Homo-oligomer: A and B are copies of this chain.
């Protein structure tokens, strides 16, 4: 089946700090014309930090869109489109948690909201962790804490962890760790 929607017009709507908005005019497979609102951003790296004794490091952070504190995997935007996502992952891990990793292993590429945003998340399993001191960006209010992996899974079951990238990443890490046992 031909699904492709050909772009026949691009209207820039907004240029923000962390995202841009465009309104596209497209031609559908049946020849009809439609519009698509698209959010563009450079993407981000996400880290699943697992300590040698099987704990996972998560961060607590306020997110304005829902006026809600989330418990999430450490993550941060690429500094520019095309930045090496592994370098970004190492930086964000250290900034947000104070840990550095001997091994960063790409385990997933995720599209968090493919219906309206082009964001791509590069998700890394981080092992061989050493603890340093965290130094978040100025004006970034964030607290890192270690949880046994089983507790993080319970927090998913109970809806305490509900950020999609964190739910997908933690469940995937458990799948990989179980396979390797």
Interface residues of chain A, those whose CB is within 8 Å of chain B, are 1, 3-5, 7, 13-14, 16-19, 21, 23-24, 26, 28-30, 32, 34-41, 60-70, 72, 108-121, 139, 141, 143, 153, 156-157, 159, 162-165, 167-168, 171-172, 175
Which residues of B lie under 8 Å from residue A70 when comparing CB positions? 111, 114
Check A65/B5 contact, CB under 8 A, given A39-B39, A109-B162, A159-B109: no
- The residue on B at minimum CB distance from A106 is B159
Check A116/B19 contact, CB under 8 A, given A108-B167, A159-B109: yes
User: Does A113 lie within 8 Å of B112, measured CB to CB?
Assistant: yes
A118 to B64, CA, bound (A): 8
User: Does A168 lie within 8 Å of B164, measured CB to CB?
Assistant: yes
Which residues of B lie under 8 Å from residue A119 when comparing CB positions? 113
User: Does A21 lie within 8 Å of B28, measured CB to CB?
Assistant: no
A119 to B119, CA, bound (A): 15
Report the minimum CB–CB distance from A162 to chain B (whole Å): 6
User: Does B21 lie within 8 Å of A110, measured CB to CB?
Assistant: no
Which residues of B lie under 8 Å from residue A163 when comparing CB positions? 110-111, 114
Copies of this chain: 2
A7 to B67, CA, bound (A): 10
Which residues of B lie under 8 Å from residue A159 when comparing CB positions? 108-109
Which residues of B lie under 8 Å from residue A69 when comparing CB positions? 3
A72 to B63, CA, bound (A): 26
Check A37/B24 contact, CB under 8 A, given A3-B62, A165-B164: no
A143 to B3, CA, bound (A): 10
A79 to B45, CA, bound (A): 33
User: Does A141 lie within 8 Å of B62, measured CB to CB?
Assistant: no
For A116, give its contact among B39, B143, B168 (CB under 8 Å). Answer: B39
